[in-house]
Amino acid sequence: MRISAQLEARLRELGAELRPAASLAEHTSLGIGGTTDEILLRHYETVPKIMRLLAEEGVPHRFLGGGTNVLVDDGELSFVVLHMLTSALGMHVEGNAAYVDAAADLGATVTFCAKHDLGGMEGLIGVPGSVGGALRMNAGAYGTQIGPHVREVELYRAASGEIESVRDSEIRFDYRHTSFAPEDVMLRVKLELPSQPFQEILAGIKVCNEKRRSSQPLNQKSAGCIFKNPPGGSAGRMIDELGLKGHRVGDAMVSDRHANFFVNTGQARCVDMLKLIDLVRERVRGAYGIELENEVIVWRN
Ligand code: EPU
């Protein structure tokens, strides 16, 4: 979708920049996605005004975080994409509290906190993406989830059109799901973390990195796990048991390393990945009577 020169000028007045005809394939870890104008924001205080402006102009839009858990449609997209740029000053620590911009990289946040002798998030070290994406999805790995460490979230609340602060007691963090509305935009978070010596945290980080390296296709284009695990089960194990590793539709393939990772081996399109997702879901339904739910977020046109 293209933004008019007039709207571009108004966005610039609000401190935003335009990246015209951006390829979402270049901004997502799956390397899949069509083109659209991308609006780059530097200051989260401008979010309400920019959202209001886009609403007034009737411009459909989506907010892109790290782009590591999203499968974007092919071709010319029917919505523009907003993306918040990170700032080097986006994190600081006060006692056991870490204040972090949602646009910050999750791994960099874990390391930053570790350097301040704040632990508890080692399991999240290899989870790619932004802190905002991790908050929205309640990202987790190796027994750690971000939710329990959250004390307060500053967000753009779509329902009120304002920036609001929300205490942890008002947020529900479930398995890869939270009570935030899909249109809410994460802006900043206050985490509370246990004190722990840096060397100890580092040892934990190394263990998690090693586990991840030995079981996940880290050097291939993916969005992490495609499906949520069903209660008490493992999507990866079921797909593996069905002999679907290496199964492909075009260049979209079930990883031969971890069966819940679907990888783009070359020029995979969204339509290929969706066909592969449907095919695997059907096979699992047929064999186990379980309906797998997407973990990856799909942006259709
Ligand atoms: N397994 C297989 N074959 C496979 C993959 C897994 O048999 O191809 C078996 C493993 O041997 C193990 C079990 O399935 O016994 C579970 O596998 P794993 O430990 O890799 O964990 P997972 O449940 O598949 C979850 C998260 C990952 C996270 C890991 C590590 C989900 C959907 N996935 O995977 O998160 O990194 O645990 O804690 O909850 C993600 O969210 O995108 C993600 C990758």
In sign, the C-alpha dihedral spanning 288, 289, 290, 292 is: positive
Q: Does 295 sit in the ligand 1 pocket, CB within 6 Å?
A: yes
Q: Does 233 sit in the ligand 1 pocket, CB within 6 Å?
A: no
Confidence at residue 90, expressed as pLDDT on a 0 to 100 scale: 87
Confidence at residue 286, expressed as pLDDT on a 0 to 100 scale: 98
Residue nearest to atom 40 of ligand 1 (CA): 225
Which CATH class name applies to 5-84? alpha beta
Question: What tens digit of pLDDT does each residue of 74-88 get?
Answer: 999 999 999 999 876
Confidence at residue 87, expressed as pLDDT on a 0 to 100 scale: 75
CA 134/CA 140 separation, integer angstroms: 8
CATH 3.30.300.90 fits 91-199, yes or no: no
The residue written with tokens 């209660």 in the block is 231
Ligand 1 atom closest to Cα of 226?
42
Confidence at residue 86, expressed as pLDDT on a 0 to 100 scale: 81
Q: Does 126 sit in the ligand 1 pocket, CB within 6 Å?
A: no
Q: Does 213 sit in the ligand 1 pocket, CB within 6 Å?
A: no
Q: Does 226 sit in the ligand 1 pocket, CB within 6 Å?
A: no
Q: Would you give the DSSP letter of residue 218?
A: T
Identify the architecture of domain 218-299 in CATH. Answer: Alpha-Beta Complex (3.90)
pTM for this predicted structure? 0.97
CA 110/CA 93 separation, integer angstroms: 12
- Domain boundaries defined on the chain: 5-84, 91-199, 218-299
CA 297/CA 272 separation, integer angstroms: 16
Ligand 1 atom closest to Cα of 143?
38
Q: Does 224 sit in the ligand 1 pocket, CB within 6 Å?
A: yes
CA 293/CA 270 separation, integer angstroms: 18
CA 98/CA 112 separation, integer angstroms: 9
CA 205/CA 180 separation, integer angstroms: 29
pLDDT mean by block of 10 residues, the chain; 301 residues: 96 96 98 98 94 96 97 98 86 97 96 98 96 97 97 96 97 97 96 98 97 97 98 97 98 98 98 98 98 98 93
